[in-house]
Homo-oligomer: A and B are copies of this chain.
Amino acid sequence: MKAPGSSALNIVRELFSAIEAKDLDAAMSLMADDVSYENMPMKPITGKPTILRVLRGFLEPAQEVEWQIVSECEHGDTVYNERLDRFNIGGTWLELPISGVFRIRNGAIVLWHDYFDMSTYTEQLRKITSGSSAKS
């Protein structure tokens, strides 16, 4: 899946297609072995096995995943995007405004920074989870 000839922008778009398809093998194949995945409210995560586990944690509870790109910008080996990451969890959409910065080296992602408000994520998740427990 690595595409050394692809533009940085295309590699990031491929990542998002893989994420939306919940195809984590495809997503991981776009990353370099020494990739650093940094959700800015959390500590940086390095090493593909750990990253895989964290991504699975985000995606697994969702029946549908849409990471809508609001706008994007490519500057050399770096890609910026502004997004609305959406997760359909048990029929309710969790929506997270987010901004990402990606650095590409030799056709693979080496750095992934996501900027977002953690409470915006956890508060919605808490409501959805407590709602579905109440229903069950």
Query: Which residues of B have CB within 8 Å of A113?
Result: 82, 99
Interface residue SS majority, chain A: strand
Kindly identify which residue among B73, B118, B120 contacts A80, using a CB–CB cutoff of 8 Å: B73
Q: What is the size category of the interface that chain A forms with chain B?
A: 20 to 34
Copies of this chain held together in the complex: 2
Does B116 contact A119, Cβ atoms closer than 8 Å? no
CB-defined contacts of A74 to chain B, threshold 8 Å: 73, 75
Interface contact B78-A40, CB-CB below 8 Å: no
Tell me if B115 and A98 are in contact (CB < 8 A).
Answer: yes
Query: B115 near A118 (CB under 8 angstroms)?
Result: no
Complex Cα spacing A74 to B72, Å: 10
Interface string of A10-54 (1 = CB under 8 A from B): 000000000000000000000000000000110000000000000
Residues of chain A in range 61-116 having any CB-CB distance to chain B below 8 Å: 71-75, 78, 80, 82, 97-99, 101, 113, 115-116
* Residues B78 and A97 in contact, CB atoms below 8 Å apart: no
Which 5 A-B residue pairs are closest in the complex by CB-CB distance?
A41-B117, A80-B80, A99-B115, A115-B115, A73-B75
